[in-house]
Amino acid sequence: MPWLYLILAIVAEVSGTTSMKLSAGFTKPVPSVLIFVFYGLSLTFLTLALRTLPVGMSYAVWSALGTALITAIGVLWFGEGINALKVISLILIIAGIAGLHFSQEHMK
């Protein structure tokens, strides 16, 4: 269940960040309100995940996967550019998350 909470926290965080872009600097009311709704849900689910999961690893997964997903949304939905350096950087972020996760498992 804690991993489900963490996934929901990531989805809500990505939705909140996407709402930021869609709000056009708080000029559109619905996306502007959704920023706060989604970030509230994200922090709620992250807090529930932290009841069981280690904080360092959880935050790394939450922030890094959120970054990777937002980058993908930026490229696919908002037409932002992609290049080799951006792809390599995302791969390194994901590799770092895997390293943190596996280091936690070996410590138990």
- What pLDDT, in 10s, does the model give residues 31-44? 999 999 999 999 99
* Packing angle, helices 2-22 and 55-76, rounded to 10: 40
What is the pLDDT, as a whole number, of residue 100? 78
Between CA 27 and CA 104 the distance in angstroms is: 44
Q: What is the pTM of this model?
A: 0.86
| Contact between 48 and 2 (Cβ < 8 Å) | yes
- Tokens coding 3: 């991993």
Q: Which residues contact 71 (CB under 8 A, 6 or more apart)?
A: 80, 86, 90
